[in-house]
Amino acid sequence: MAETVLVTGGTGYVGGWAIVALLERGYAVRTTIRSLTKADAVRAAVGDPGDRLTFATADLMNDGGWDAAMADVDYVLHVASPLGDETSKDPNALIIPARDGALRVLKAATGAGVKRVVMTSAANAASPASYAENGITDETLWTVDDPKLPAYRRSKTLAEKAVWDFMASYDGPTELTTILPGAVLGPILSADNVGTTRIIQRMLSGKMPGTPKIGLEVVDVRDLVDLHIRAMLSPEAAGERFLGTGEFVWMREIAAALKAGLGVQAKSVPTRELPNFVVRLASLTDPSLRALTISLGRRNRHTTAKADRLLSWKPRPAAETVVQCAQSLIDHGVAA
């Protein structure tokens, strides 16, 4: 009988690809969604899985449904992110949902005695306060919580700290591993969920006047899911953090890769790099740019040597990922 893996957030970008990968590997998959009305859309996005995909109704913001979702589950991939208010000036609008949602999943999993929980954190939970600092960061560094940091970055750090603190006092069979990805890009599964590929969508649309001097550690969503599954199965992964960042590329290099890989389809992609002061001025009136200003001219990077050494994980080149991401957006009719 196939082992069962619970994937949180089946309607999400990473969640959908996790379902695809697990079904391809022969697992039975149960996924949480906030409403069963979304089940048909998930089934359509991941392909026809027969009878190995089932659904549980559960919300990261509420206790109800989680014990039932964990029943007879062998592993949990907690890849969902709670719907905090990213527009709020109160950082707790993001921090509290992220922290409480992660603890809600972990408490239900340990209560059910699952073998291992693999939780998605973020690379910026293992970063220096300023990306302007030179250096290569590994998993031994924890981001120091600072009210001056963007709320999203704080929420990821505090949520991961909370689950490790919980496990420090837990005495039971369940193991925990956390994965810290970089900028997650790659193909989409449906036009209804572009996930974190919006940055490529904006570049294709021509709505960006130029590229900010920001570097991204691009990881393909398919490689990220592969890392989660390797961490789920490897004995060496128990109790460990793994950075899942990919190749570091500047935005202008992403633009160049799109131009080279897509030709005329990338005719609206901007190639001019914007001066930092222009981006900072624009951020005064565009809230979506404010969180980016901390990364302008970024020097700090992360290493995935640990994932390579313990899990034999190697991400694909960034150019391949961004071109396939863009082509997928075009094919689904959501590039504009």
Q: Measured between alpha carbons, how far is residue 321 from residues 47, 121, 219 in Å?
A: 21, 21, 8
Q: Is residue 207 part of a domain?
A: yes
What pLDDT score does 290 carry? Answer: 63
What pLDDT score does 130 carry? Answer: 75
Q: Quick check: 185 and 200 in contact, CB under 8 A?
A: yes
Q: Is residue 105 part of a domain?
A: yes
What pLDDT score does 189 carry? Answer: 96
Q: Is residue 336 part of a domain?
A: no
Active-site residue, from 89, 107, 148, 156: 156
Residues of the chain where predicted confidence (pLDDT) is lower than 70 = 83-88, 285-292, 294
* Segments forming the whole domain that contains residue 322: 4-331
What amino acid occupies position 49?
P
What pLDDT score does 87 carry? Answer: 58
What pLDDT score does 89 carry? Answer: 73
What amino acid occupies position 279?
V
Distance CA 3, CA 19 (A): 14
DSSP structure class, residue 63: S
What pLDDT score does 102 carry? Answer: 97
The predicted-structure confidence for 54-104, as pLDDT tens digits, reads as follows 999 999 999 999 999 999 999 999 999 876 555 567 888 889 989 999 999
List the one residue out of 250, 266, 248, 249 whose CA is nearest residue 211: 250
- What CATH number corresponds to the domain at position 94? 3.40.50.720
156 is catalytic: yes
**Rg of the Cα trace of the chain?**
19
What pLDDT score does 74 carry? Answer: 98
Distance CA 128, CA 273 (A): 25
Q: Measured between alpha carbons, how far is residue 276 from residues 74, 279, 294 in Å?
A: 49, 5, 11
What pLDDT score does 128 carry? Answer: 86
The bridge status of strand 28-33 relative to strand 53-57 is: parallel
What pLDDT score does 295 carry? Answer: 73
Q: Is residue 271 part of a domain?
A: yes
Distance CA 308, CA 316 (A): 13
Domains in the chain, number = 1
DSSP structure class, residue 125: G
